[in-house]
Amino acid sequence: MKLPSPRIPPEANLQDWMAEVVAAIEAGKPVRRELAGGGRLHVDRALPFICVHLSGDDSEPVAREVAQANASYLIAPDATVAAAIIAAIGTALERRFGAFMVLEIGELAADELLEDKAPFLSPFTVEVTAGAQREIRAAARSFVDAVEAIQAKFRTPRVEFRELADGVDDESLKVPFQKLRVRFAPIYRQRQSSKIYPEIRERLIASIFDAGLHAFAAFASATGSLTITTHRALGRRAFVDAVERADRNMDEVAASFDFLLAVTPINAEAAWNEFAAKDCSRAPRFLYRPLALQVEAAKRKLFSIPFDHLEDPVLYQLYREKQQELDLQLSMLSARETAKFLEFGRALYGPVEPALWQAAKDILARSNGRADKGGFGTRPPEPPADCHLIERRAREMIGEYAHRCSDFDARVEVRDDLPPGLLVSGKRLLIARTTVMDKDRVEPILSHEIGVHLLTYFNGSAQGLRLFRSGLAGYEGMQEGLAVFAEYLSAGMTAERLRLIAARVVACAAMLDGACLPETHRLLVHEHGFPKADAFNVVLRVYRGGGLAKDAIYLRGLLQLLDHLAEGGALEPFWMGKIAASHFGVMQELNARGLLGGPAVRPIFLDSAGATPRLSRARSARTPLDLMDQ
């Protein structure tokens, strides 16, 4: 949900204005009103608390941002006006919830940092002041515990607690409600030059904001005013105009290029013929689509997107991560077919870690006999499925999803400029005309492409923010892990398929270690028993563009998913959009806050007769090969 932001003229009558605000809150409507002098009242829903920051300028920017991150906050340049507003809305909310709390956030005048040449960084001060009432003391204790639990990287907090004598505090806002006052040292800026340390600033905002939510949750529990499952559920439930603008601009950059199509050769068949004709000893020449994108212009637009008014630390972090990912992808495109392409890819997808490499080697060693027994590398005895049969079944499956969700308007294209296989680009399913596969593979591979990649695109589109359809940063690993798992739930996870996924990891590792294409091809053929044509399909994917480490993510994502299931994790949040494993908690939080909804449509393959017992089996699987044991 998005909030309007009408401006209240300076001459407006404050009493009439407050009466309108209270009426709106009591009617369940969100409120966002600008005050004269640069202040603002924001209430996206009725809650038994408000966060307040008193400042007539931007001299305490971090305290201001901490306050603005809350679902209910007041920024006021004048303590008298602030007290009147809080009294009006607090009385109404206290009447509704039985209790009301005020958290006042501010900054200390200076940071007691040692000299710049000191051998260590001293702790920074956080002053916490509260009355003696049981409920506000519970809130204060929770706040202090959260602050002291901050995982410090540069400075550790030192909390100084002070109890108000008879609830009287001459130094701050006077309101007829239980109040917690917090002041913290401005460690985000240098003492002499006032230059900002951006990383410390971001960490400080997120940490103090989270501690404030802990305090609100403890107060709600102590007063019985509200029942919640987690303190993070008390966060914002509405996003402001700045979020929508940033989201739209970010999506325009992301949609201005198709990364995978740009780095996928258009001459796969000719390249194989060239490679085979030279006895697989010399790398063939790959040809690519010309770039229709001006990388420098795209980067200028990407880094001109402002994030300083999003008012939500969680969304701020998600968009910053996506900005960094898009920057790396654009850098890779500008370096296509050069040595830098590989290094940018290493930064984007990471190395092949030892545990992943060992898991791949184990799969190749343990599955060799099974794959041979199943006729690995040979044509099935019955006529195989060609691109036209796959296209027909794909259109049928998309029709089934469209019947369940009218917005599921995916398109299917049969293409001549792709290597054999299927590829999802936005809302399009692309099928190479040269694709041929066992008919038993059609349903699992469509569950992979349609039931995961397209489904999360349309479910992400339904969330109101385009970021969840284009994908949160690093989403590809879990996406591919889920997609491979969808094949398993569709009765299509064979030892042959696992060998292929493991081979991609081994090939990526060899490529990153400096092996050339023919060397990696020989490794797959001679050491792991792959037919020459199948091994070429693997190295084509791994060496495209100049060396793409992406293919290691399929097995990595599957291993992450099995770990998640073994710990009792659910699949539901993963269907809400394109997310990484690290975003599972974020999606749960945003869902608990009401900022995101559940999936618009669930995968059809979950309804199959064998899906439930297979899912139960996967929860106890120690390795991917355990899924194959009968």
CA dist., res. 364 & res. 362, Å (int): 5
Residue of 104, 490, 433, 461 lying closest to 266 (CA atoms):
433
Q: What is the mean pLDDT of residues 486-506?
A: 95
Q: 153 pLDDT exceeds 80? A: no
DSSP 374: T
Q: What is the rounded average pLDDT for all residues in the chain?
A: 91
The pLDDT-based confidence of 35 (bands split at 50, 70, 90) is confident
Residue of 502, 501, 453 lying closest to 478 (CA atoms):
453
At 630 the pLDDT is 44
CA dist., res. 223 & res. 72, Å (int): 18
Cβ(447)–Cβ(603) below 8 Å:
yes
At 171 the pLDDT is 64
Report which residue type is found at 372: D
Q: 43 pLDDT exceeds 60? A: yes
At 116 the pLDDT is 54
**What percent of the chain is modeled with pLDDT above 70?**
93
Q: What is the pLDDT of residues 95-149, one digit of tens each?
A: 999 999 999 999 998 887 655 555 567 889 999 999 999 999 999 999 999 999 8
Q: What is the pLDDT of residues 349-385, one digit of tens each?
A: 999 999 999 999 999 999 876 554 433 333 445 789 9
Core vs surface per residue 132-157: b (16+ CB within 10 A) or e: eeebbbbbbbbbbebbeebeeeebeb
User: What does 84-146 look like in DSSP terms, one character per residue?
Assistant: HHHHHHHHHHHHHHS--EEEEEEE-S------TT-SSPPPEEEEEEE-S-HHHHHHHHHHHHH
Which domains, and CATH codes, for the chain? 14-238 (3.40.630), 258-292+335-568+608-627 (no CATH)
What residue spans of 490-552 are helical by DSSP H? 495-512, 517-522, 532-543
Cβ(579)–Cβ(468) below 8 Å:
yes
DSSP 568: T
Core vs surface per residue 400-411: b (16+ CB within 10 A) or e: ebeeebeebebe
Q: Distance of alpha carbon 598 from its chain centroid, rounded?
A: 16
For residue 39, give the 3-state DSSP assignment.
strand
CA dist., res. 125 & res. 190, Å (int): 16
Residue 363 CA: distances (Å) to CA of 353, 554, 627 = 16, 14, 12
Q: What is the pLDDT of residues 578-627, one digit of tens each?
A: 999 888 888 888 988 888 889 999 999 999 989 999 999 999 998 998 88
Write down the residue that tokens 């500008």 correspond to: 334
More confident residue, 8 or 458: 458
Write down the residue that tokens 């999360």 correspond to: 456
Cβ(143)–Cβ(101) below 8 Å:
no
Report which residue type is found at 202: E
At 6 the pLDDT is 47
Q: What is the pLDDT of residues 247-277, one digit of tens each?
A: 999 999 999 999 999 999 999 999 999 999 9
At 374 the pLDDT is 37
Cβ(323)–Cβ(251) below 8 Å:
no
Q: Give the helix/strand (H/E) hosting 431.
A: strand 428-432
For residue 616, give the 3-state DSSP assignment.
helix
Contacts 24+ apart (CB under 8 A), 355-361: 356/505, 356/552, 356/555, 356/556, 356/559, 357/505, 357/506, 357/509, 359/502, 359/505, 359/555, 359/559, 359/623, 359/624, 360/501, 360/502, 360/503, 360/505, 360/506, 360/509, 360/555, 361/502, 361/506
CA dist., res. 103 & res. 85, Å (int): 14
CA dist., res. 33 & res. 76, Å (int): 11
Q: What is the mean pLDDT of residues 6-35?
A: 80
Inter-helix orientation angle 495-512/339-349, to 10°: 120
CA dist., res. 290 & res. 46, Å (int): 54
Q: What is the pLDDT of residues 159-206, one digit of tens each?
A: 999 987 655 555 678 899 999 999 999 999 887 788 899 999 999 999
Q: Which range (72-76, 93-97, 195-199, 544-548) has the least confidence?
A: 195-199
CA dist., res. 187 & res. 334, Å (int): 39
Q: What is the pLDDT of residues 309-363, one digit of tens each?
A: 899 999 999 999 999 999 999 999 999 999 999 999 999 999 999 999 999 999 9
Q: Give the helix/strand (H/E) hosting 347.
A: helix 339-349
Cβ(234)–Cβ(592) below 8 Å:
no
State the first-to-last Cα distance of the chain, in angstroms, to the nearest integer.
Answer: 49
